[in-house]
Chain A
Amino acid sequence: MTNEEFDKLWEQASVEGRASRLAAEYPAWHRRQRRVAGLVAAMLLVVAVTTPMVMKRDSASRYEKVYCNRIDKNNQQWVDMADYLLMNA
């Protein structure tokens, strides 16, 4: 074997070694990718499902929304007033 042939083989072996290392690491990388994609999908699914539920009227709440022309009154005061009037009618 000449020096040139040996160098060629050595170079080839190094390349193959790197390639086999990459090949060995690939499944782990692939799993990680899959896990990240799964996590993103799960998060989006949770947001998609919970958003309408959160935005929907709270069952404990007595009203949906209050419009008011004054800023010094809070919503609950008006709801209580609507209740008060009914109770005293």
Chain B
Amino acid sequence: MKLEIINLSRAKRILIPLLITLVLLAGCSHEANEPEESLLYKRYACRPELAVAQVCGFSLNDSVQVDVVLLQAGDDESWQRLKEEFNIHDEDGTTSWLATADNPAQRTKWNGEPVTRVIASHHKKTVGLYIIESEAQLDALMDYQLEKMK
């Protein structure tokens, strides 16, 4: 019986700290995986005339996600300013293009480098910046749009 008590207390001494460590590790790994604010978001978030958001891990399908930065003008004046910044000359509908990763106003073509897919809606006074870092994300984005159009 004495031996059993010793074994039990030994087991407790090992098992409980082990489990507590597991819990702490689980918490820490979650913290480490927390998505961060992108540079694009930080660039626009300080502007009071814009409502700015970053949707992290926006799902395009079961395995592909993208980060999306959305810029929404509060009034016509700030929308006009945003249009000028992004060189948008259309007056209505939706405009879209591929832009370089660091400058969403600068049009580019896909060459394997990270890009930003920009979609601007006049109706919503909103510009969406879809941060594309891989071909898989670009393909998934196109597939997603095609799927939605059906």
Residues of B near A75 (CB, < 8 A) are 55
Say yes or no: B23 contacts A47, CB within 8 Å: yes
Rounded to whole angstroms, the CA-CA distance of A82 and B144 in the bound complex is: 12
Say yes or no: B23 contacts A44, CB within 8 Å: yes
Q: Which residues of A contact B (CB under 8 A)?
A: 26, 30, 33-34, 37, 40-41, 44-45, 47-48, 51-52, 55-57, 61-70, 73, 75, 78-79, 81-89
Main secondary structure of the interface of A (DSSP, over half): helix
Say yes or no: B4 contacts A30, CB within 8 Å: yes
Q: Which residues of B contact A (CB under 8 A)?
A: 1, 4-5, 8, 11-12, 15-16, 19-20, 22-23, 26-27, 29-30, 34-35, 37, 41, 45-46, 50-59, 65, 68, 70, 72, 94, 96, 119, 121, 124, 126, 128, 130, 141, 144-145, 148-149
Q: Distance (Å) between the CB of B25 and the closest chain A CB?
A: 8
